[in-house]
Amino acid sequence: MIDIHSHILFNVDDGPKSLHDSLEMLKSASKEGITEIISTSHIRHPQFDVQAITVLEQVTLLQSELNKQEIPLTIHLGHEIRLCDDIVALISERQILTLSQSNFLLLELPSSHIPNYTKGIIRELLNISITPIIAHPERNLAICEKPERLEWLIREGAAAQLTAGSIAGHFGRAIQKTALELIKRNLVHTYGSDAHNLSTRPFLFEKGLSYLKKQKEIEVVDLFLENNSRIVENRPLLIYEPGLATKRKWWWFI
């Protein structure tokens, strides 16, 4: 299994604080059945701005340690980029890392709203063949209040990533309910842990998938895992038609 969203680098953002903590997180991920993981430290966040060279250096170090300890886990490069108006320029300057050097970018919205220029940024990214994946939309207040707001972004060409802890109930019943509603509306396409540590923000990767299986959402589990693989392989995502529907049907590939 592949985890496309994680904060595993130490002492750079709100993730682990030491090399030991990072390695303990990675060992935990491996025990959950994760075989590949994308490191997505914050960049252009109001509090954190982890540079690409730092990501490369730490991923190289951590991968070396995993290999020495014979832990079967591969780390890929990436960023979680907070929405900003110069994203395209930053990509061209190679200051932002896409997910596993693919044509997919993990895009974080502010937690309280969706800025008016979001659709314009999505179009700009698509114009340079980059598909933005909206990180944890179920935790965005505006989307919680009106899920159609996410559908508008999906119809513009974006995809969306659900967080394991949200569906597992780690963030409370309200967010879990929103996560399930977005699934029912076919508005989420990929799945990540967004793990930050092993105490307050653990992986919960398998727990989230197990919950979905209990909810009879087996095809969604398959979709998430398939699309996570497609991101690493830089292949088009499988997408169901968004919106309320009693029966899922394929809409497009992006």
Per-residue pLDDT of 71-105, as tens digits, reads: 999 999 999 999 999 999 999 999 999 999 999 99
**Owner of token pair 């990675």:** 26
Domain residue ranges in the chain: 2-253
The span from the CA of 162 to the CA of 180, in Å, is 10
Least confident of 23-32, 99-108, 137-146, 234-243: 234-243
Q: How far is CA 237 from CA 97, 106, 195, 224, 254, in A?
A: 19, 14, 23, 10, 5
Of 3.10.290.10, 3.20.20.140, 3.40.50.800, 3.30.1330.40, which CATH number belongs to 2-253? 3.20.20.140
**Owner of token pair 């595993």:** 8
Q: Provide the residue type at 70 as one letter.
A: E
What number of other Cβ atoms are within 10 A of residue 253's Cβ? 10
**pLDDT at position 239:** 86
Band the pLDDT of 173: cuts 50, 70, 90. Answer: very high
| pLDDT over 80 (residue 49) | yes
